[in-house]
Structure formats: structure tokens, C-alpha cells
């Protein structure tokens, strides 16, 4: 894939944040879109804005990816009698924040489902046809926390570490096939994610990236054939810290930085 112009791209979690920004940037580059999220009203509004601004085709599929059969339903809906999906952006994800064991178990399980099982399932569905065609791409949105111990976001950090390892491993498997797989690892970004996870109320002061900047640079990196992109120089430096410091020290620092107020 040498250009996004004319491709058909699927973006999950496209109703806000990085997913919405990636969708808009893909459209700016001439890609036709399939957007999926749970909010029909929001998705239809975003789709209308993108069509008007960029003149590309935008299809909306309202779907709760937490449902067991959702990945297969999405694949079927995007495959039957239509042009193939050339790019999958596995962006949908949620986070939890707090002392492990005090967070509701159903929230943790839902997070593992959405952050781990769903992107793995969608990759398993969309990858083989891409390999057969000899072209395509998958971007899995992980996090800088994939590289670090993540006190108070223990299960979330673990889910993103899985996604990073999974992405790099499958990327190695398909090397030479014409299909590219990249893990995108953003840091704190100006989205609804932190508010939904409860970080904005309890966590430390954080400098946030703009999602449009993350999207633009990530899409450039994917087009260049990168298997990993960490957004922002500071975030890249953060990911390198465990290489030069004892893991116990890294965990201690992260605990101090991430500790909720009042704990």
C-alpha cells in the first residue's frame, strides 16, 4: 500500500478521540471509510461531516464490539458483495483506573474483551484475505503503557502490552506478503478516554497530545512500513526508560506518578 487514496478503511471506535481523528485524516487523504461504534447519532453526524468535507464514501455500522458475535458480524457486513477492506484500524478500547481488586470485575473483563480479544479476532478475520491479495494493512492502537509497569492501571497496561507483542509478532509472520501491521502507542491524548476511566478526577496532572497530531503522524508511519510508532518524542523517551533502569525502580516511579489522589 503506497497511498491511502481510493482504499477502503475500517475504523473501530470511530465516534471520538484518536479513532475519529484517524478517520478524518484518512478521508483527507482520499480513503473511503467504514466507521463503527455504539453511538448511531454521533457516527452519522461524523460521517456526514466527512462526506461534506472530503467527498469520500462513508459507511456507518452501529455495533457493540463487546458482544460475543460482533467481530464476525462486522466482518460479514463489510465483506458481503462489497469491495475488500484494505486497512483495519483497531482503535476501540476502554480503560480502568484505581487500586486493583477494588475495580469492579465486570469492568476489567469488559476491558480485556475490547482491548485484547476483539482486535485479535478482527485481525484473524481480515488478515488472511489481505495476505491472499498481497496488499493491506492493520493498525492496532496500543499505548506507551505497553512498555511500562502500570500501577493503578494494571490490567489496562497488561492489555496494551499484549496488543504490542501480538502486533509485532504477526507483523514478522507476514513480512514479505505485502501486508503491513503496526502498533500505534500514543501517550496521554486529549480524548474522552481519561474522563471515562476516571483519571481526570483522581490522577496526576498530564500534558495531553492532540489526537489529530497523533493520527497524522501514525498514518505517515504506517505508510512508511513501520511496525511500531510511539507518538511524540517525550513518549518515546518514556518507553526507553526500562532499558536503562531496574524494573523495580521503574515500577516505583510509575506508582508515584500514577497514584490516585487520596490513596
Per-residue pLDDT, 202: 44
Does 20 have pLDDT greater than 50? yes
**What 3-state class would DSSP assign to 131?**
helix
Q: Where are the alpha helices (DSSP H) in the chain?
A: 17-28, 40-54, 70-79, 105-112, 118-133, 154-173, 193-197, 199-202, 211-223, 233-244, 247-258
Percent of the chain beyond pLDDT 70? 92
As a whole number, mean pLDDT of residues 242-251 equals: 85
Summarised one tens digit per residue, pLDDT across range 147-187 is: 999 999 999 999 999 999 999 999 999 999 999 999 999 98
How far lies 107's CA from each of 68, 104, 258, in Å? 16, 5, 19
How are beta strands 58-62 and 179-185 bridged, if at all? unpaired
Report residue 101 as a C-alpha cell. 481488586
Give dist(CA 201, CA 216) in Å, integer.
29
∠235-239-240 over CA atoms, to 5°? 120
pLDDT at 238: 82
109 touches 154 (CB < 8 A): no
Please report the pLDDT score of residue 148 as a whole number. 92
Helix ranges (DSSP H) in 100-210: 105-112, 118-133, 154-173, 193-197, 199-202
> Is the confidence at residue 191, as pLDDT, over 70?
no
Which residues contact residue 225 at a Cβ distance below 8 angstroms, ignoring those fewer than 6 apart?
Answer: 180
The reported pLDDT for the residue numbered 217 is 96
Residue 184: phi, psi to the nearest 5? -100, 125
Distance CA 19, CA 11 (A): 7
pLDDT digits (tens, 9 = 90+) for 105-163: 999 999 999 999 999 999 999 999 999 999 999 999 999 999 999 999 999 999 999 99
pLDDT for res 252: 85
Q: Which residues are catalytic?
A: 156
pLDDT digits (tens, 9 = 90+) for 69-97: 999 999 999 998 778 999 999 999 999 99
Residue 83 pLDDT: 87
pTM: 0.90
183 forms beta bridges with 140, 228
Kind plus residue range of the DSSP H or E element containing 11: strand 8-12
Per the CB < 8 A criterion, the answer to whether 212 and 27 are in contact is no
Distance CA(158)–CA(162), nearest Å, equals 6
Cell of 209: 497530545
Q: What residue ranges define each of the domains in the chain, with the CATH number in brackets?
A: 8-258 (3.40.50.720)
pLDDT at 199 over 70: no
Grid cell digits, residue 184: 500505534
Amino acid at each position: 500500500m503506497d497511498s491511502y487514496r481510493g482504499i477502503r478503511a475500517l475504523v473501530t471506535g470511530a465516534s471520538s478521540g484518536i479513532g475519529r481523528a484517524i478517520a478524518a485524516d484518512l478521508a483527507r487523504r482520499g480513503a473511503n471509510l467504514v466507521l463503527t461504534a455504539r453511538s448511531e447519532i454521533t457516527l452519522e453526524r461524523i460521517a456526514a461531516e466527512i462526506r461534506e468535507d472530503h467527498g469520500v464514501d462513508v459507511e456507518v455500522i452501529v455495533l457493540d464490539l463487546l458482544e460475543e458475535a460482533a467481530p464476525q458480524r462486522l466482518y460479514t457486513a463489510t465483506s458481503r458483495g462489497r469491495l475488500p477492506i484494505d486497512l483495519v484500524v483497531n482503535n476501540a478500547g476502554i480503560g480502568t483506573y484505581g487500586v486493583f481488586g477494588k475495580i469492579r470485575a465486570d469492568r476489567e473483563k469488559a476491558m480485556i474483551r475490547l482491548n485484547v480479544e476483539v482486535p485479535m479476532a478482527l485481525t484473524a478475520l481480515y488478515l488472511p484475505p489481505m495476505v491472499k491479495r498481497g496488499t493491506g494493512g492493520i493498525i492496532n492502537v496500543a499505548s506507551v503503557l505497553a512498555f511500562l509497569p502500570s500501577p493503578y492501571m494494571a490490567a489496562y497496561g497488561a492489555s496494551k502490552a499484549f496488543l504490542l507483542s501480538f502486533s509485532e509478532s504477526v507483523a514478522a509472520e507476514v513480512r514479505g506478503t505485502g501486508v503491513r501491521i503496526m502498533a500505534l502507542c500514543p501517550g496521554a491524548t486529549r480524548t474522552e478516554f481519561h474522563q471515562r476511566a476516571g483519571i481526570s478526577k483522581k490522577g496526576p496532572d498530564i500534558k495531553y497530545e492532540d489526537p489529530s497530531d497523533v493520527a497524522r503522524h501514525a498514518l505517515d508511519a504506517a505508510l512508511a512500513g513501520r511496525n511500531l510508532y510511539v507518538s511524540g518524542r517525550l513518549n518515546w523517551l518514556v518507553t526507553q526508560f526500562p532499558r536503562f533502569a531496574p524494573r523495580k525502580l521503574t515500577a516505583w516511579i510509575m506508582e508515584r506518578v500514577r497514584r490516585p489522589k487520596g490513596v
